[in-house]
């Protein structure tokens, strides 16, 4: 009986909510209490985070990136600055950004295209409500909304075309309602009711998708409900022997990391979006973070907090020498927690984001460093590139590891460029997304682009204006459809080429078996 019970439990995990009840053939689920389940593991004693507000638009932009109080702008003197108090860069003047933007893109401060400041509710189509479904949700004590602002906020991710349209005040198809479960059994109840009333559900985590995954399918005629997981934000238990944890899917990355740190652990998973993206989103996209070299991908977590952390940077005479160095680091299997190579254009961009120096001494020191690299060492400032480094682990091993990487870099003409540059370059990744909004204020557009390719193929050197052409080239050279952002709707046209018709058929079979009524009908991937 024990083995049979175990098999049934495993099967239920696989088949999820779609279990037919004996006799009636109906799909149903068994409710579970909204409490931590401790199976030989200790419940988390970390401080529970405050849930993300249901009205996220009160603290976050509805048509741009990040917090409402944080943004790049040009002040009355024409100087760039970053507002708010949340980041190390907040409140600082960036004296070089204006010139870089004008020289690189031909933008001018006189030619401005400001975003629509607030949503016009009349631009949002009336909701197609399934009243019986909503009545049942309310009877079950589940909070819902069909407010236009709540619906629009959950209708998009952060692809260029999504944000550009919202800045213009153009709203496409949006969910008809939003529901907020607070635990696993709430989700089971919502899915059961969606099956009963034939409602389409689109899960919503952090809303940071860059694959069009959150767009409502135009062909969907059923009522579409956004299932917002933000109130499911607890660590239920941590198994300290096996280094595993059970965590609710709606927890935001920064809250997860803080709670784990209080127990002496970390995820080691630091995507650029970790302030806003959710654990559920990471799992759904098979995410990789900035420190995947030693911590692995999302499925490899959790780990004890490292004893020692050290930043670093290396400057190379050319991008080709930098690539050769990183290839050798990979070949010797000695990559640090994070290693990122920036080409010269990225280097110039990073230099433009350097804050105004606070003292003559700092200015003089920066000048001496530049003189040493460009005049004494002969590096061409228009060709050099920089790698930023982050080492983590036991102190002795980190110092040994650091020496090994710098020795390899020296063989390819690299010069150590200091800890400050490495730390600054690493931290910049968390504010760079805000820059796209500044660019669009002055008719400059930008988009994220990611993939992975074998070392013997390097098909894309610069971002193409049309992603389609770049994707075709990457796939032709053995690259992947996505490295860590997922497929969504944006890239699903290449799925058959990527996994073959057989692979696609297998995925369709899994989908048909698990969700025959297409309740999760946002039409991503397939």
Q: For residue 139, count CB atoms less than 10 angstroms from its CB and return exposed for 0-12, middle for 13-18, buried for 19 or more.
A: exposed
The reply to whether 367 sits in an annotated binding site is: no
Cα–Cα distance between 76 and 460 in angstroms, integer? 40
Residue 3 has pLDDT above 50, yes or no: no
315-328 exposure pattern, b = at least 16 Cβ within 10 A, e = fewer: bbbbbebbbbbbee
- What are the DSSP calls for 487-518, one per residue? -TTTSGGGHHHHHHHHHHHHHHHHHHHH-TT-
Residue 234, preceding peptide bond in cis (omega within 30° of 0):
no
Query: Residue 430 contacts by C-beta under 8 Å, 6 or more apart in sequence?
Result: 87, 272, 274, 275
The reply to whether 204 sits in an annotated binding site is: yes
- Winning range, highest mean pLDDT, from 212-226, 265-279, 292-306: 212-226
Residue 21 has pLDDT above 50, yes or no: no
The reply to whether 151 sits in an annotated binding site is: no
Answer yes or no: are the C-beta atoms of 524 and 247 closer than 8 Å: no
Give bridge partners of residue 390 from the DSSP assignment: 311, 338
Residue 246 has pLDDT above 60, yes or no: yes
First-residue to last-residue Cα distance in the chain: 39
The reply to whether 288 sits in an annotated binding site is: yes
Topology (CATH level 3) of domain 235-270+276-304: 3.30.465
The reply to whether 207 sits in an annotated binding site is: yes
Q: For residue 165, count CB atoms less than 10 angstroms from its CB and return exposed for 0-12, middle for 13-18, buried for 19 or more.
A: middle
Please state, as a whole number, how many other Cβ atoms lie within 10 Å of the Cβ of residue 127: 19
Residue 455 has pLDDT above 50, yes or no: yes
Domain ranges of the chain: 56-105, 121-231, 235-270+276-304, 308-429, 450-481
Cα–Cα distance between 58 and 17 in angstroms, integer? 34
pLDDT tens for 110-164 read 999 999 999 999 999 999 999 999 999 999 999 999 999 999 999 999 999 999 9
Q: How far is CA 198 from the centre of its chain?
A: 31
pLDDT tens for 175-196 read 999 999 999 999 999 999 999 9
The reply to whether 286 sits in an annotated binding site is: yes
Query: What's the CATH code, domain 56-105?
Result: 3.30.160.650
pLDDT of residue 484: 57
Closest CA relative to residue 112, chosen from 447, 440, 445: 440
Tell me the two tokens of residue 245: 């944890």
Answer yes or no: are the C-beta atoms of 296 and 303 closer than 8 Å: no
- What are the DSSP calls for 162-207, one per residue? HHHHHHTT------SEEE---SHHHHHHHHHHHHHHT-EEEEESSS
E strand or H helix at 346: helix 344-352
pLDDT tens for 355-371 read 886 655 455 446 546 65
Query: Residue 359 contacts by C-beta under 8 Å, 6 or more apart in sequence?
Result: none
pLDDT tens for 373-396 read 766 678 888 899 999 999 999 999
**pTM of the complete model:** 0.79
Cα–Cα distance between 480 and 331 in angstroms, integer? 20
Tell me the two tokens of residue 415: 């010069």
Cα–Cα distance between 274 and 289 in angstroms, integer? 9
Q: How confident is the model at residue 471 (pLDDT cuts 50, 70, 90)?
A: low
Domain made up of 308-429: CATH architecture: 2-Layer Sandwich (3.30)
Answer yes or no: are the C-beta atoms of 71 and 83 closer than 8 Å: yes
Cα–Cα distance between 209 and 194 in angstroms, integer? 24
Answer yes or no: are the C-beta atoms of 352 and 96 closer than 8 Å: yes
- What are the DSSP calls for 113-158, one per residue? -PPPSS--GGGSPPP---HHHHHHHHHTT--EE--HHHHHHTS--S
The reply to whether 203 sits in an annotated binding site is: yes
Q: Does 352 or 363 have the greater pLDDT score?
A: 352
Please state, as a whole number, how many other Cβ atoms lie within 10 Å of the Cβ of residue 11: 10
Q: Is the dihedral of CA 113, 119, 125, 130 positive or negative?
A: positive
What single DSSP character describes residue 339?
E
Please state, as a whole number, how many other Cβ atoms lie within 10 Å of the Cβ of residue 212: 19
Q: Are strands 200-204 and 224-228 parallel, antiparallel or unpaired?
A: parallel
Block residue for tokens 């995954």: 213
- What are the DSSP calls for 252-283, one per residue? BHHHHHHHHHHTTEE-----TTTTT-BHHHHH
Collapse the DSSP code of 316 into the 3-class scheme (helix H, G, I; strand E, B; otherwise coil) and give the result. strand
Tell me the two tokens of residue 79: 């100087």
The reply to whether 206 sits in an annotated binding site is: yes
pLDDT tens for 51-83 read 789 999 999 999 999 999 999 999 999 999 999
Closest CA relative to residue 64, chosen from 163, 130, 168, 154: 163
Q: Does domain 121-231 have CATH number 3.30.530.80?
A: no
> Please, what's the largest Cα pairwise distance for the chain?
84
């Amino acid at each position: 009986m024990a083995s049979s019970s175990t098999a049934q439990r495993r099967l239920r995990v696989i088949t999820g909510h779609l279990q037919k009840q004996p006799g009636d053939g109906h799909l149903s689920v068994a409710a579970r209490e909204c409490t931590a389940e401790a199976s030989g593991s200790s419940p988390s004693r970390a401080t529970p985070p405050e849930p993300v507000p249901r009205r996220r638009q009160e603290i976050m932009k509805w048509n741009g990136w990040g917090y409402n109080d944080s943004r790049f702008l040009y002040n009355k003197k024409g100087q760039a600055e970053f507002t708010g108090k949340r980041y190390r860069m907040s409140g600082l003047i960036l004296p070089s950004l204006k010139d870089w933007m004008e020289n690189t893109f031909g933008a001018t401060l006189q030619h401005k295209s400001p975003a629509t400041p607030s949503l016009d509710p009349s631009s949002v189509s009336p909701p197609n409500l399934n009243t019986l479904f909503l009545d049942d949700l309310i009877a079950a004590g589940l909070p819902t909304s069909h407010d236009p602002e709540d619906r629009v906020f959950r209708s998009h991710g952060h692809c260029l075309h999504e944000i550009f349209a919202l800045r213009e005040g153009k709203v496409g198809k949006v969910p008809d309602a939003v529901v907020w479960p607070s635990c696993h059994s709430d989700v089971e109840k919502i899915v059961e009711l969606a099956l009963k009333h034939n409602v389409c559900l689109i899960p919503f985590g952090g809303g940071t998708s860059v694959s069009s995954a959150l767009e409502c399918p135009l062909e969907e005629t059923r009522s579409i409900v956004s299932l917002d997981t933000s109130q499911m934000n607890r660590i239920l238990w941590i198994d300290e022997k096996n280094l595993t944890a059970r965590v609710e899917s709606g927890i935001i990355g920064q809250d997860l990391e803080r709670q784990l740190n209080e127990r002496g652990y970390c995820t080691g998973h630091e995507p650029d979006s970790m302030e806003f993206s959710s654990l559920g989103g990471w799992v759904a996209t098979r995410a990789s973070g900035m420190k995947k070299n030693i911590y692995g991908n999302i499925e490899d977590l959790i780990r004890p907090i490292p004893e020692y952390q050290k930043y670093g940077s290396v400057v190379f005479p050319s991008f080709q020498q930098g690539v050769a160095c990183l290839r050798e680091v990979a070949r010797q299997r000695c990559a640090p927690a994070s290693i990122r190579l920036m080409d010269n254009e990225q280097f110039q961009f990073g230099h433009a984001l350097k804050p105004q120096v606070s003292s003559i001494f700092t200015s003089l020191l920066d000048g001496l460093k530049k003189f040493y690299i460009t005049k004494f060492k002969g590096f061409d400032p228009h060709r050099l590139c920089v790698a930023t480094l982050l080492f983590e682990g036991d102190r002795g091993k980190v110092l040994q590891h650091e020496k090994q990487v710098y020795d390899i870099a020296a063989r390819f003409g690299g010069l150590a460029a200091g800890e400050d540059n490495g730390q600054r370059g690493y931290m910049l990744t968390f504010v760079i997304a805000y820059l796209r909004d500044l660019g669009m204020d002055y008719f400059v557009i930008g988009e994220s682009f990611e993939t992975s390719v074998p070392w013997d193929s390097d098909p894309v050197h610069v971002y193409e204006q049309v992603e389609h052409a770049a994707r075709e080239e990457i796939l032709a050279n053995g690259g992947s459809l996505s490295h860590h952002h997922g497929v969504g709707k944006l890239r699903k046209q290449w799925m058959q080429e990527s996994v073959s018709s057989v692979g696609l058929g297998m995925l369709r079979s899994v989908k048909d078996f698990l969700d025959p009524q297409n309740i999760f009908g946002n039409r991503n991937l397939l």
